[in-house]
Structures are given as structure tokens and as C-alpha cells.
Structure 1
Amino acid sequence: MAAPGLLLLCCSFLCNCFRSKRKDIDDAVIVKEPKAMESAPSAEMNSVHGKIPASPLRVPASPLRVPASPLRAPPSPLRVPPSPGRFSMSPKLDRIGSVHLTLRQAARATQNFSPTLKLGEGGFGTVYKAQLQDGQTVAIKRASKEHSDALRSEFRSEIELLAKIEHRNLVKLLGYVDKGNERLIITEYVPNGTLREHLDGIHGSCLDFSQRLEISIDIAHGLTYLHLYAEKQIIHRDVKSSNILLTERMRAKVADFGFARLGDTEPGKTHVMTKVKGTVGYLDPEYMRTFKLTPKSDVYSFGVLLVEILTGRRPVDSRRLPDEKVTIRWAFGKHHNGETMDLVDPQIREAVDEKIFKKMLDLAFQCAAPTRADRPDMKAVGERLWAIRVKYLKRGGRE
């Protein structure tokens, strides 16, 4: 009887020695409702009846349906959309990125979020330039405190999706802060401003035609990666000129994934049913009408953006004459009437090859066809732009 009693005492002693204490972690969040309007305003529409305005983007149907198998462009060692095997799998959120900041460090790096370091504003909040203690420059996006609950999903969406992607034409996530009532996203700093700023001439010299062609190819490759080569299909939902950042070498990076959504991965399903989010002027009319989101919605936005790149005009400009307010409708009419070269951005100083310009414009109109069945996919778009580039260089265009 003594032996069992001694055994019980030993077991009790060992359990008390090795018992661990549980830790509770309590994270608060802050998010913000997307701003409803700007010159090219972001919009969220919740009901088909009465809340979605009639689309100003309905252009006449493309006279040519997109070929089932577009001509494949000559391969390039530098510009072909990369193989999916080159990219890392999705890391866990607690291990992403290479920058780990406290809220106090983030405030110090942005001089307490000084207006002088403000880079811009998006649907999620305000973006600041930040200088870290090691000398590295990054961008920090801070959630607005207004309507914070409404932006909770946008914050999580952007973090989770950015953690899944790695591509030179997409802005890279470096870290994030989720503390108390503050939420910050830390990304690489892209130093040369937005595409829209360059089209407006804010940074001095105007983009020449060659730069516009290269930027278009960069954007197409970034979107192709999201649609085809990411771990899971990603639909950006807010492709626009102010979400395209340019490097010092004028390479383009797609930014701001606050509205992005995962595509449907179920076999046989071709779309995601979701509320309409995006920017007025770039929104896919079929998505607005049916609430069915597909990668072809990004293709439509890219078509509008390509017309913007070629003409320099914003998609919707209320200051212009009535028949010129909706740029894509005005451009299609001009092109249809044989006045294509009137569409060239007057800020482009060099002579523009008419055949090359028409090929790019034709591709833009196919991307912006009113129905998604008439639009190519982004991989085909990238290939066709690359083929246009090859012809452009052969016809005397410069690198």
C-alpha cells in the first residue's frame, strides 16, 4: 500500500512542476469606409435597384470578337509573364515581410504621420513616406479613423492578398501593424509617383510613347500574375492610373489591393457574386449589372486605362464638352470615324507611328467591350502588347 501512495505523490508533484500558463492576446482593429467620390472616385454599390447609376461606359460593341486563340508574341527573356514556380507559396501572416515595427516606431518614421510626408490617399486610408532607423525608405498606409468598422474587411483582405504575391510589377508587402485602434500596412516605397501624376505632367517631363507602351506591358504582366500564377486567383477590382506606381526607371507596379477579391476556385464556377466595388469610370458594366465578378472585370478596367494612357485623358471628365465627357465613348467615336490620330495625347512631342497606335487602341477597345465574352484574358493582352512592342522596335521605335 505504501508503494502506490508514493507513486501518486510523485505524479502530483511532476504535474505541478510542468504545468504551463496560457497567454491571452487581444488585438483591436480600426478600419475606414472607402471615400465615395473623387475626380475618378471609388464607389461601393449595394443594390441593383436604384443605387447603381446607368453606366456611362457603354461603348458600341466591338466589331470584332476576340479570336479564340490570339497570336502568341515572340518570347522574351525579360518580359514574358513568369512561371508560377518562381514564386513563393503563401506565408503565414505572423511571418510575412522583412519590416517589423511597433506603433511608436512607425510614428517616429513618419514624423508622427506628418502631412509633409503624405504620398496619397486610397480607399483604405492615407499613405506616408517613412524613413526607418536603418536608413530604409518604405511606404506606410494608415487606416483612417472615420467609419473604422466598415474597413475591417478591406484591411484583412489587403494583408492576406499581399502576403500571397511576389512579382516585380506588384507592390511588395513588407509588414503590418495591428495594435489597439491603429492598423498600418508597410510596403516597399516606389519613388516616382503615380501614373496619373505623370500623365498630368506633375513630375515635369511628359511620358513619351515608348514609356507608355512599356508601362502598359508592365501592368498587363502584373495582372496576368494575379489572375493565373498566384497561389490563388486574385481579382484586383480597382485597376486605375492612380493605383499604378512608377519606379525611377519608369517601370510600373500595381498597388492598392484594398478592394481585391479571391476568384472562385470551385470546379465549373466562373465568377464570384459580390457587392460592386471599384472606381467610377473604370467599372465593368456587366459586373455592375449582374454583381458577377470575374478576372474579365480587371480586363475591362485595363482597357479603359489603356485609352487613358494613349490619350492622356481621365476616363470621366465633367469639364469637357458633353460628347467628350466619357473618354472611351469619345475615343471609340473618333476611331470609328477615321480620326484616330486626333486621340494622341498632345503632350507626346515625338511623331507616333499610326499603325502601332491603332493596334494599341484596337486592343483597348476589345478589352473594354461591354460584355466579357468579347474581351481577351490578361495573358493574351500581355502577349499582344509584347507583339506590338516588337513591331514598334522594328519600325524604328526606341527602347
Structure 2
Amino acid sequence: MYGSRKDSSGSRTPERVSYSPSPSPSSYSTNSSQSSSGRSRVRTAARSVAGVFVACFTPPEEEAPHHSSSAFGGSDAFSSTSDVSGASDSTDGKRLHRSIYTVKSDSTHSKEPASIKFTMADINKATKNFSPVLKVGQGGFGTVYKGQLQDGTLVAIKRAKKSMYDKNLGGEFQSEIQALSKVEHLNLVKCYGYLEQGDERIVVVEYVPNGTLREHLECFNGNVLSLDSRLDIAIDVAHAITYLHTYTDHPIIHRDIKSSNILLTDKLRAKVADFGFARLAADAESGKTHVSTQVKGTAGYLDPEYLRTYQLTEKSDVYSFGILLVELVTGRRPIEAKRELDERITARWAMKKYTDGVAISILDPKLEKSDANGLALEKILELALQCVAAHRRNRPTMRRCAEVLWNIRKDYKEQLV
């Protein structure tokens, strides 16, 4: 039903998919609240949204061809399948000055985002003529190479497969470049430039050396991410999405927030990657609240309201972020096909345990079941519950998510003292 690939362990994982519009069989409702009122109300809300996860895994009758997910630090190449236009969902509160979230990249170089139009000579030199030794990723869209620019900057170079070229590719490639050219933030992968020449489509972005969040959750390097580090990563991602939604000149909806699109630096700082599905949103002054578009995203992270109505808003990213929070604390993928039936949809399973008062039982077994971890876990699950509310109006903004996570981390550190 969904596109999939095999990971290093041999299990199959869902890839990004796009759906053509078709009727949805059902709708779901929730009574969840964004307030932090009594635990019983939160648990009641959790029970009321249990059915919401079903919609994420019931695709429309028609499917469009799928594309591979991306993470140039990991096992997938990053891909480009997007279109650009539309409107933004309203957000709570006034926009702050963009300097709060506009911070310089931790690179020592000061290139403007996507400012360079590279030549094939530049690319060949940077990749040593696309040497297999420098290959760091492979996916449905193409191949990713590690490269070095003339000034010494390390970069990841995405080269599209020539077999992928069709009448739509030019627009999709330009969509990605247009989105990347507008963003610069510490927690977003920086785009240095691109090449569009003949049958070549190449994007040059910042090289992030330490793999993907998904790989770290699976301990690919033998090290276990502490809950403290996972909270830091969640906050980094929340800041990145807040910037996209609120502080850029033109709001951007990412549409593919997931653990394999989050790259980690050597210091475990998170950087959100892959703008292949990104969509520009209209200014709030336009009066529009959503974009009507075919569904694109990754199975397990897809907003069921978007899947049902084809109305895209910033709150679709919020839903994906809620799934990511559950993934962070459980260590499990959003869909665990090999588990028992009641555990296959991780978020639904986790929320059921939470409402039953045994949230600690879903904590990643690699983490200690301490009082501090248990308290932080419950607070994170409460936020995740709000993020995955069936209706977008009941979900918090990403700015609010960042604020809540800051408070959770503060309380957690105090518990550890």
C-alpha cells in the first residue's frame, strides 16, 4: 500500500508517498485541550483521539508514485517532489522580530543560502568526478555525495537520477531551490547553491557528519541517546519549524518532518533537512487559512485531517512533530509492522498506555526508568497528545510546542540535581 525500503536491519520501513485526491471514508473528532488542566481531562482527551491514528494508515483509493525519503547523512538520498503556492494557517499571537530565530549557521563560512549557481566543473572537482568513495546516500530520487568546495567547506551534493527526469521535474526542482533559498537557521540544513544544466539537477547543501536521528535511536554507533539529549533535539526541531512557520519572510510548511530527515552534528545538535515536499504559504493578510493540494508526506507521520480534506496548513507539521515526540521517547518507528496488532501503530499504543496510567512502560528500554525520566515522559506525551489532535484547531502552534518543551527540560534538569 505504501512505498517502502529495507533498512540495514532488513526490516521494511515506509517511505514518502504522495496521494491523488479521492474521497475519504470517515472523519474523526477530539475533545483534547491545549491547557494543562487536570490529568483526568488529558486522559479523557487521549481516549477520544485514539481513532485518529487509523486515518493515517488508510490511504485514499488512488495512489501516485512514491519517492524515497532523504537523509544525506544516512541510508537515503534526499529527494525533491514538491510544488509551491498556497496559503498559511493562522497562528496564535503576534509575530516576533525574525532575529530571534534567524541565527547564523555554525559553519565558518558566510555564504548566503542557495546563492551560488555551480558549474559541472565545480561539482566534478568537489566530488572527484562523483567518486564512489564519496557516496554517502542513495534513494529513489538520486545519489548523495560528500564533497569539498574550493574554500574548504564540506558539503553534501545531491545528484538526481537521469531516469527521474520528466516534464514535472523542473518545477519540483525549482520548488526545492525556492524554499531552500529563503531559510537560514542554526537548526536547518543550509543550502549553498545548485546546478540546473542540461539533464543535470544538483543541489549543494551543508554536510552534517553524524547521521540521522533515526540511526541514533537505533544506536547505529553503539551510543544511547539520553533523555536529556532527546529533549534538546526536540527543542532544536521545534525551533526550526517555528522559524519556517512564523519568522521567514514567507511562511513555509515542511510537510515531511520525521526522524530520518533530522541530522545530528557531532555535538548532537539537530538540523532539519529535506525540503523536497516543502510548500510556500501565503501571507496571513490574504485571509486564506489553508492550501488545497494533493497529499504528500511519509506514512506514519501524515496528518489525518490533511489526508481526509487535502487542506494543508502549518498544523500538519505540528501533527508530524507530535508523532516524532512519541518516537523520541519510545525509540520505536511510527509503524512497527512486525509487532503485535495493538502495538503496530506506535502513537496509538503509547497513548493507550498513557491513559491507562502506565506511561513508564513505553519508555525506550535503553533508558533508565527513573522518577525524573518518568515525569518528563508523561509531560512529553501530554504535549504529543495535543499535537496529534484530530482537528488542527485543537493543536498548539510550533512556537507553543517549543515553549512547553523548554519548561519540561528546565523541570527535568532540576529533578536531576
- Equivalent position to 1:323, from 328, 331, 342: 342
State how 1:276-291 maps to structure 2 within 5 Å.
Answer: 276-291=295-310
1:268 is aligned to 2:287: yes
1:191 is aligned to 2:209: yes
1:43 is aligned to 2:17: yes
Partner of 1:175: 193
Q: CA deviation at 1:203?
A: 2.0
Q: CA deviation at 1:196?
A: 0.5
- Equivalent position to 1:386, from 391, 406, 417: 406
- Equivalent position to 1:84, from 84, 95, 98: 98
Partner of 2:218: 200
Q: CA deviation at 1:115?
A: 3.9
Partner of 1:66: 34
Contact 2:113 2:182 survives alignment (8 Å): no
Partner of 2:89: none
1:354 is aligned to 2:378: no
Partner of 2:271: 253
CA distance change for structure 1 residues 264 and 122 in 2, over 3 Å: closer, same or farther? Answer: farther
SS at match of 1:146: helix
Partner of 2:63: none
Q: Which moved more, 1:316-325 or 1:271-280?
A: 316-325
CA distance in 2 between counterparts of 1:346 and 1:135 reads 42
Contact 2:239 2:399 survives alignment (8 Å): yes
Contact 1:193 1:245 survives alignment (8 Å): yes
CA distance in 2 between counterparts of 1:348 and 1:304 reads 19
Partner of 2:79: none
Partner of 1:314: 333
- Equivalent position to 2:355, from 316, 319, 336: 336
1:211 is aligned to 2:229: yes
State how 1:151-162 maps to structure 2 within 5 Å.
Answer: 151-162=169-180
Q: CA deviation at 1:151?
A: 3.0
State how 1:21-32 maps to structure 2 within 5 Å.
Answer: none
1:109 is aligned to 2:126: yes
Q: CA deviation at 1:376?
A: 0.4
Partner of 1:231: 249
- Equivalent position to 2:161, from 134, 144, 159: 144
CA distance change for structure 1 residues 116 and 323 in 2, over 3 Å: closer, same or farther? Answer: farther
Instruction: Return the letter of the residue paired with 1:117.
Output: L
SS at match of 2:192: strand
For the aligned residue pairs, the C-alpha RMSD in angstroms reads 2.6
CA distance change for structure 1 residues 354 and 96 in 2, over 3 Å: closer, same or farther? Answer: closer
Q: Which moved more, 1:335-344 or 1:252-261?
A: 335-344
Partner of 2:69: none
**Residue-by-residue CA offset, 1:10-40 (whole Å, 9 max, x unaligned):** xxxxxxxxxxxxxxxxxxxxxxxxx943313
CA distance in 2 between counterparts of 1:361 and 1:342 reads 13
SS at match of 2:286: coil
CA distance in 2 between counterparts of 1:115 and 1:216 reads 34
CA distance in 2 between counterparts of 1:354 and 1:344 reads 8
Q: CA deviation at 1:145?
A: 1.8
Q: CA deviation at 1:347?
A: 1.6
SS at match of 2:323: helix
CA distance in 1 between counterparts of 2:138 and 2:385 reads 29
CA distance in 2 between counterparts of 1:256 and 1:385 reads 24
Name stretches of at least 5 consecutive residues in structure 1 with no aligned partner: 1-34, 69-80, 89-94
Contact 1:130 1:139 survives alignment (8 Å): yes
Partner of 2:52: none
Partner of 2:397: 377
SS at match of 1:177: strand
Instruction: Return the letter of the residue paired with 1:363.
Output: L
CA distance change for structure 1 residues 97 and 290 in 2, over 3 Å: closer, same or farther? Answer: closer
CA distance in 2 between counterparts of 1:264 and 1:230 reads 12
CA distance in 2 between counterparts of 1:195 and 1:135 reads 26
Name stretches of at least 5 consecutive residues in structure 2 with no aligned partner: 6-12, 37-94, 104-111
Contact 1:37 1:43 survives alignment (8 Å): no
Q: CA deviation at 1:153?
A: 2.5
Q: CA deviation at 1:321?
A: 1.1
Partner of 2:92: none
Q: CA deviation at 1:63?
A: 5.3
Contact 2:113 2:183 survives alignment (8 Å): no
**Residue-by-residue CA offset, 1:338-360 (whole Å, 9 max, x unaligned):** 12001111122473522211001
Instruction: Return the letter of the residue paired with 1:374.
Output: N
CA distance in 2 between counterparts of 1:146 and 1:240 reads 27
Q: CA deviation at 1:109?
A: 2.2
What is the TM-score when the length of structure 2 is the normalising length? 0.76
Q: CA deviation at 1:276?
A: 0.5
CA distance in 1 between counterparts of 2:368 and 2:130 reads 39
Instruction: Return the letter of the residue paired with 2:412.
Output: Y
1:126 is aligned to 2:143: yes
CA distance change for structure 1 residues 272 and 63 in 2, over 3 Å: closer, same or farther? Answer: closer
Q: CA deviation at 1:42?
A: 0.4
CA distance in 2 between counterparts of 1:178 and 1:103 reads 9
Q: CA deviation at 1:85?
A: 3.9
CA distance in 2 between counterparts of 1:363 and 1:176 reads 38
Contact 1:119 1:129 survives alignment (8 Å): yes
Partner of 2:106: none
CA distance in 2 between counterparts of 1:102 and 1:163 reads 18
SS at match of 1:395: helix
